Each structure stands twice: as structure tokens, then as C-alpha cells.
Chains A and B, each alone.
Chain A
Amino acid sequence: MFSILSALAQRIDLLKQVRRGNTGDVIYKVLAYLFGLALLGIVVAIIWELWVQSAFARQEFGISFLWSTSFDPVQAQFGALQFIQGTLVTAVVAVSLAAPLGIGIAAFLVEIAPRRVNAVVGFLVEMLAAIPSVVYGLWGIFVLAPFLRDYVAPWLTATLGWTPMFSGSFSGYSVFTASLVLTIMILPTAAAITRNVLQAVPKEQREGMLALGATRWEMFSQAVLPYAKGGVIGAMALALGRAAGETMAVTIIIGNARRIFTSMFEQGATIASVIAGNFTDADSGAYVSSLFLLGLILFAMTFTINVLARLLIKATSSGPTG
């Protein structure tokens, strides 16, 4: 209601401006509106398309699509649970590894490194984000996977092999490898945003803690980090969203086994990787529609994570009220 009123007011304002002879301004405004609306239109169109295209699968399988694990093109039976599992496990493992690393990098850059090192390394960290996803995938399968197979996996089997998590043999293509590549891929996001959040902590907070006889570590852990907590959580949620949606590298590495996995050494699939790996084979209406429904689920997941992340960052970057 309010937005309609304000839009109306805007239009009357525009007419006034035309009368005053400010045609340039009017053209600028109209164009800006159109571009803004175009963006909104694209988002709406994507959601609409996902919704319409997945209609068949939604009617056919209903809500049970979410917890079904069948993926049988011949019988035209499809489910999403194993892919939701793959997506969540790889993303959560990646974030729980990237979070301490990212916070550590950011803390070093903001609190310890000289200003020039902060600028240069900060730039390099952001550069990591510019490496194409497929390059990470190639690196993961030809460099990281053999390294893990020769050095890390035997050790993990020896020490943690008795847990289901690291049981079985490790072939290179695995949920484990995919999770580690994702960790490196989301590290720039985690580190760069955390760095910005830490930099935004007011000087007064640091000084206040130091003046109480805190060491630099105490200052960081008791004044800086609590102040920045929300923003750091937001950064990690954003990284989680990125990890969940990552496609190319994961498709190359994870092995694309369309079943529930119990060990990190097994092969698995994520929603993104199953869509990327199967769209060329999708020959029936049910198949295509199921892939679209998977896309809709992924979109809902990353959208929710992103919105929560943005809200958290916004709530903290504006600072506590006082």
C-alpha cells in the first residue's frame, strides 16, 4: 500500500519536473527505474521458471521428493535426499574448516600485519576468488586427490578409521576431496568479509580493552571478536551459501554417486553436481522436471542462507545501538 502511494508521488514529481524543463533528469530517472526493475524481473523470472518447470515432479512425487533417495530414470522415480545430504555435508565441512582459517587470516591482517602487508595479502586473498571454478576442480583431482591418497588418507585411516566417518578405502574421487576443495574456494569469502568486519570495530573498543591492561590477544578475544561476532557469523553463512551452490569443481571431484554416503571417503553427489552431471541424459519429462525441482530446492537453500547472512551482517555492521 505504502509503496503504491510513494510510486504515485514519484510520478507526480516526474510530471512536475517535465513542466519545469528538467527533461534530462526525467529520462535518467525513468532509465534507472527500468534497469532496477529489470533486475527484479530476472529474479522473478528464474523463480517462476523453476516453479513451472518442476510442476510435473511436484505433482508426481509431492513433498516426499525431499526424503526419497531413489534416482531411477528407467522407472521414472526421483528423490532429493542423497543430494541434499551431499550438499549440506560438503558445505558444512568446508565452512567448519574455512571458518577458523579465515578468522585467523583476517585477525593476522587486521591486528598484527603492517599496513602494507594487510593491503597486499588482503588483495591476494580476494584474488583467490577470481580463479575459475573449473581450475579448482582440475587442481583438486590431479594435485590434491593424489596428495590426499598418498599422505593424508592413510594417516586418517590409521587414526580415525574406526569411526564410520573415515572408514573404507580412499580413491581420490570422494566427498572428502570435494569438501577440501570447497574449503579453499570459500576461504576468500570467509577471510575477506571477516577482515572487513574486524576492520570496522571502532578504535575506541580496542583502546578501551588495552587501557585495562589487556594483552593484544585478550584485546582481540574479549573486545574485538565479541563486537564483530554477528558479522563474522554472517561471513560464514555467506561462505556456506557459496559452498552449497558451487558446481563445476564439485562435479569434477565428488564422483557423482547418486546414493547416501556414510564415510567421507565414499563418492557422493550434491544437488548442483547431479544437475550438471545429468542434464544431457534427461530424456523424459519426469527426469527434466525432477532436475528443475532439485534446482528449486537448491535455490531455496542458498537463498535462505544468504538472506540470513545479510541480515546478520547488516545487524552488526551498523553497530550496536546506544
Chain B
Amino acid sequence: MSQEGGKAGPQRAGGTSSVTAQTMEVQNLSAYYNKFKAVTDVSMKIEPNKVTALIGPSGCGKSTFIRTLNRMHEIARGGRIEGKVLLDGEDIYDDRVDPVQVRRKIGMVFQKPNPFPTMSVYDNVVAGLKLERRHKKSELDEVVEKMLRQAALWDEVKDKLSANGTDLSGGQQQRLCIARTLALEPQVILLDEPASALDPMSSQKIEDAMQELKERYTIVIVTHNMQQASRSSDYTGFFFIEDMGQPGQLWEFGETSKMFSNPERQETEDYVTGRFG
């Protein structure tokens, strides 16, 4: 387990290993903030190399739920869960598992673009890699180009890699954050409303990038944009909250084509056709 000299401790995956998308399985998961139950009893299977979209009205627990998938939920005050989340058959909430390692395998892109303002574009991309160990410059150069290409940003920023990360436009910043996540070669990528702060053009570019990315990764995306969900996802989960103060539930889950054309439950149909929310 122990590797010599690595300041970051054991088992940090290198940025050059090959990637395999993994299945995630959520079993009877409930999420809490102190005593308040925000999400109750969610079970679903997240398929590899597919895009799974999570939709639903505001405050129904989608964001809380997606943050339980890489143990970011427990950072919030009083954040805890019950249930299991399996990555490739292993519970990421097992006592022996270090949340730091979980987050390296399951990357996350946030609602608001959050590049590190004191770092250049280049350093933003390799910020995660630099945590694990020393890398050769040539190795990093390679990673930067590869990841920026995967995030569909290379052509726009290849001449300003030393510019500040925050000098880019909002949409570019968000794709930079995607590249930064990809650089760790995670097995799963979680996106929490990645386009909600962006204009339609930038949003489209992120959607396009996602289609490319699912070739390599397992993708989960929270979105408020019905068109985006129906166009770009393979599976859709509809979260719903019955009443104020009640916890959010996974109301219905299935293939996207079915969820949008012929859902089982009335609330799902009302929501996807824009009758509420």
C-alpha cells in the first residue's frame, strides 16, 4: 500500500493510467442535514458509458443526491447519509474508504464555474494532478493538451495557456473545470447543473463535449433544461417532493426516451411537458 515519497499517501491513481468507466449502484440512500432528511430511500443503477440525467423541480434534492455520489455531501454542516453507494461493487461509504480517494475516482463539475483565480489555464488543468506527486513537465504538457481537447476547449485557449483561469469567458471557464476534472482520469463524472449559469451557445458546447465524454466515462448530470435532458441523456431520473418539508424522492427512473414520451406516473408527465416546475 505504501509508496515511497508520495506526499499524498497511498493509492492515488496516476494521470496516465487507462480509464475504465464504471457502474455505480445506489442502494436505499437517504441524505440528511443534521436531523432534516433531504432525500429519502433512493435506489438506482448508473450504467457505464451512458449519460444519466437527474431532473425535477427546485428543492427536490437532486443536487444533494448527486453530491452523495462522491462524498461531497458530508462537507456540508450536518451532512450525512444512510444506505450504500457502490462503485464497481465496492461501497464508497465503507469505513476503510478514504473520501479523498473517492473524489479522485468520481469527479465533479459544479453549477458555478470555479476555476482557481490565482492559477493559469495550464495550472488549473493540472491542479489535481499536482496534488498527487511530481510530474515531468513533458508529461503535464501532454495531459493539458489532451484534457483541453476532450473538454472541447483546446482550440480556444491553446494560445493563452498562461492566462489567468478567470480571464476566460463563463462557458470557457466551465469547460476548463471539466478539463481539470478529466485530468484525474476519473471513472465517473458528476455534473451539477453545469450549464445553468451559461448562455445557450456555451451550454450547447458543454452538451457536445458530454457526448464525446461518455465514450470514456460514466456521466451523471443534474439539469433544469428539459431539452438538454431529453437530447443528451440515455437514462433519466425524476426527483419529486410531495410536500414542503418532505424529503425528495426518486419518483421515477427509466430510459430517457420512455421518460419523456410515455412515463409511468402523472407527476413525471406533468413535469417533462412543462406543466409545473
Contacts and interface: CB of A to CB of B under 8 A. Distances in A.
Interface residues of A, number: 24
B118 interface: yes
Contact of B12 (A202, A213, A227, A322): A213
Interface stretch (B102-110, B145-153, B245-253, B255-263): B102-110
A210 B131 CA distance: 11
B116 A207 contact: no
Interface in A198-235: 202, 204-215, 218, 222-223, 226-227, 229
Interface string A33-55: 00000000000000000000000
A211 B118 contact: no
Interface in B102-137: 103-104, 107-108, 110, 112, 114-119, 127-128, 131-132
Nearest to B112: A204
A21 interface: no
A217 to B, nearest CB: 10
Given A321-B166, A322-B173, A213 B100 contact: yes
Contacts of A207: 72, 75, 108, 110, 114
Contact of A226 (B110, B116, B184): B116
Contact of B114 (A205, A218, A222, A229): A205
A222 B131 contact: yes
Most chain B CB inside 10 Å of its own CB: which residue of A213, A215, A320: A213
Nearest to B169: A322
B39 interface: no
B108 to A, nearest CB: 4
A322 B167 contact: yes
A115 interface: yes
Interface in B24-74: 70, 72
Nearest to A212: B128
A42 to B, nearest CB: 39
A222 B127 contact: yes
Interface string A93-129: 0000000000000000000000100000000000000
B166 A229 contact: no
A223 B108 CA distance: 16
Interface string B219-244: 00000000000000000000000000
Nearest to B7: A218
B77 A213 contact: no
A213 B110 contact: no
B103 A115 contact: no
Interface residues of B, number: 32
Contacts of A210: 72, 75, 103
A212 B118 contact: no
A202 B191 CA distance: 19
A229 B104 contact: no
Nearest to B12: A213
A214 B128 CA distance: 7
Contacts of B114: 202, 204-205, 207-208
B148 to A, nearest CB: 16
Contact of B104 (A202, A204, A206, A213): A213
A319 B115 CA distance: 13
Contact of A213 (B75, B103, B167): B103
A212 to B, nearest CB: 3
A136 B75 CA distance: 41
Contacts of A319: 117
A213 B173 contact: no
Contact of A227 (B100, B110, B117): B117
B75 A212 contact: no
Nearest to B9: A215
Contacts of A202: 114
Nearest to A208: B114
27 contacts: A202-B114, A204-B110, A207-B72, A208-B110, A208-B114, A208-B115, A209-B116, A209-B127, A210-B72, A210-B75, A211-B72, A211-B110, A212-B104, A212-B107, A213-B104, A213-B184, A214-B128, A214-B131, A215-B8, A218-B8, A218-B131, A222-B116, A222-B127, A226-B119, A227-B118, A320-B117, A322-B166
Interface of A: 115, 202, 204-215, 218, 222-223, 226-227, 229, 319-322
- Report the 6 A-B pairs with minimum CB-CB distance, sorted nearest first: A213-B104, A212-B128, A322-B166, A204-B114, A320-B117, A226-B118
Given A212-B103, A212-B107, A213-B131, 7 more contacts: A211-B103, A212-B127, A212-B180, A215-B100, A222-B116, A227-B116, A322-B117
